[in-house]
Each structure stands twice: as C-alpha cells, then as structure tokens.
Structure 1
Amino acid sequence: MIEVQEIRLDPARRRAWRGDDEIKLSRKEFDLVCKLISNAGSIVSRDELMRDVWGVSFWSSSKTIDVHLGWVRRKLGDDPRQPHLITTHRGKGLRFELGHVPVA
C-alpha cells in the first residue's frame, strides 16, 4: 500500500482511494498515478512516463499524458488551475507532491 497526502494506492490489487472513497481509474490512469506516487517528491520526466506507462520510447506529442493527467486530476479532486497533488514542472515533468502545495 502506498499513501501520500490523502491518496492511497494498492498496486497489487490495482485499487485507489481518496480518504475512504474508492476511486475508479482506468488501467492507464492507474499506471500513471502509480508511477507518480511511487516517486512522490521527485519529478518524473515525460519520457519516463511514456516509456514506463505507455511502453513506447518514441513519441511525438505529450497530449496523451496531458489528457490522462486531466482525467486523473478530476478523479482525484486535484484542481488543474492550482494542483496540490500532481504538479507540472515545465520542461522537466510531473511530481506527486509529498505535502499540500501552498497557493501562490
């Protein structure tokens, strides 16, 4: 079981919760969250996400990641305008935050 902030993941059973509420994630959404939460506090590059989540080493657009990230943020209750769970770091990648990100 992995728990960061209010999100819990059971990788073996492929289940996710926010607090006591179970979150239904598609296979790719779960894999994306699992990759990020397993590396919580560290930036995961888009190249690494495409390789480890989508299984491709060559890609021409990050729209796939952006679309799935939008769905994941919505399901996790993470406001895309002021995210506190998964933050985007331009030119570097994404990070699942260890603690709540203060509003700037």
Structure 2
Amino acid sequence: MLKVQDVTVDPVTRRVWRDDREIVFSRKEFDLLHYLMAHAGEVVSRDDLMLTVWNTTFWTSSKTIDVHLGWVRRKLGDDPSQPTLITTVRGAGLRFESDAPAYSATMPAQAAAV
C-alpha cells in the first residue's frame, strides 16, 4: 500500500481510495497516479511519464498526459486552479505533493500556484 496525504493506492489490487471512498480508475489513469505517488515530493518530467507510463520514447499526442491528468484530478476532486494533490511545475513536469499546500484565503489562485 502507498499512502500520500489522504490518497491510498494498492498496486497489487490496483485499487484507490481518497479518505474512505474508493475511486475507480482506468488502467492508464491508475498507472499515472501510482507513478506520481511513488515519486511524491519529486518533480516528474513529461518525458519520464511518457517512457514509464506509456512505454514510449516519443509523444503519441501532445495532449495525452494532460487529458489523463485531467481525468485523474477530476476523480480525486483536486481543483486544478488550486491543486492540493498534483501540481504542475511549469517547464519541469508534475509533482504529487507530499503535504497539502497551504493556500491563503486572500491569495489569488495564480499566486498560490507559483
């Protein structure tokens, strides 16, 4: 079992829970989430994701990762304007946050995402 924040992944049974609620993921969604969680706190490049999750060294589509990431975020309830689980590090890749970022109620979403 792998647990980061309130998300738990069982790689053996390929099941995912957020708190006590089980969430069903497609095979690629699960692979993407599992890889990001296994590297929680680290920035994972898009090239690395294409190689490890999609088993390819070339981009089959420039939107493949974005589309799957959108589905994963939606299922987890992670607001892309103020993500607490998966953040985008511009120009570098994606990071599954080890701890939820602290957003100020007065801080604009753009400033919080930086």
TM-score w.r.t. length of structure 1: 0.96
TM-superposition CA deviations, 1:39-77 (whole Å, max 9, x none): 000000000000100111011643100000000000001
Q: Distance in 2 between matches of 1:90 and 1:60?
A: 21
Q: Distance in 1 between matches of 2:69 and 2:92?
A: 15
Give the corresponding residue for 1:85. 85
Give the corresponding residue for 1:71. 71
Q: Rg larger in 1 or in 2? A: 2
1:47 maps to a residue whose letter is: D
TM-score w.r.t. length of structure 2: 0.88
1:23 maps to a residue whose letter is: I
**Aligned length in residues:** 104
Q: Distance in 1 between matches of 2:18 and 2:62?
A: 27
Kindly indicate whether residue 48 of structure 2 is the aligned counterpart of residue 40 of structure 1.
Answer: no
Question: What is the aligned-residue identity percentage?
Answer: 63
Q: Distance in 1 between matches of 2:83 and 2:61?
A: 22
Q: Which runs of 5+ in 2 are unaligned?
A: 104-111
Q: Which runs of 5+ in 1 are unaligned?
A: none
Structure 1 stretches of 4+ with a deviation exceeding 4 A read none
SS at match of 2:9: strand
TM-superposition CA deviations, 1:61-99 (whole Å, max 9, x none): 431000000000000010011101000001100000000
